[in-house]
Amino acid sequence: MWFDDQAEQAVKFYTSIFKNSKVGRILRYDEEAAKVSESGRPVGSVLTIEFEIAGQKFVALNGGPQFKFNESISFVVNCETQPEVDYFWEKLTADGGEESACGWLKDKFGVSWQVTPTVLIDMLHDEDPKKAESAMKAMLQMKKIDIKTLKDAYAGK
């Protein structure tokens, strides 16, 4: 994950939100790396920081401003309950994150996330096209996904 200079802050943010997460090894800019850094990173600052969320390993890099996150890549947070949806939505949109449509959001670092109730995926794959369509129609009206509203639409209420 390419950050301008916020890799360490982002890793602390993500590992504070997700259970079963941890910070790994940190590599710092030495004199040679700092010399060739296009972003002018100071010696001793974080170059890369490894971290893990729910068994998935990541590396965050302070590489400078030349690349930005966009919606072409997003991380999915599968949730079993509405309190889980609410928790991740609140945490990931905190401090400048942005809500989007259909369970999508951007966190304060510009990383896109999909906070998705697993029941929604089941509904959308239902063999009854009318039920699946009703769930899809309801979901398209939402920012944060509301499971009760989905279930009502799916049931034809």
- The full set of domain ranges for the chain reads 2-62, 74-154
The model's pLDDT over 35-91, given as tens digits with 9 standing for 90+, comes to: 777 667 888 899 999 999 999 999 999 988 889 999 999 999 999 999 999 999 999
pLDDT at residue 133 tops 90? yes
Predicted pLDDT at 35: 78
- The position carrying tokens 């602390």 is 12
Centre a 10 Å sphere on the Cβ of residue 64 and count the other Cβ atoms it contains: 15
- How does residue 31 score in pLDDT terms, banded at 50, 70 and 90? confident
Q: Which pLDDT belongs to residue 39? A: 67
pLDDT category of residue 101 using cuts at 50, 70 and 90: very high
Four-way CATH pick for 2-62: 3.30.720.100, 3.90.1170.10, 2.70.150.10, 3.40.50.300:
3.30.720.100
Residue 34: its H or E element: helix 31-36
Q: Per-residue b/e over 29-48, b at no fewer than 16 CB within 10 Å?
A: beeeebeebeeebeeebbbb
Residue 117, H or E segment: strand 112-117
Q: How far apart are CA 100 and CA 95, in angstroms?
A: 15
CATH 3.10.180.10, domain 74-154, yes or no: yes
66 or 112, higher pLDDT: 112
pLDDT score recorded for residue 151: 96
CA–CA gap between residue 76 and residue 21 (Å, rounded): 16
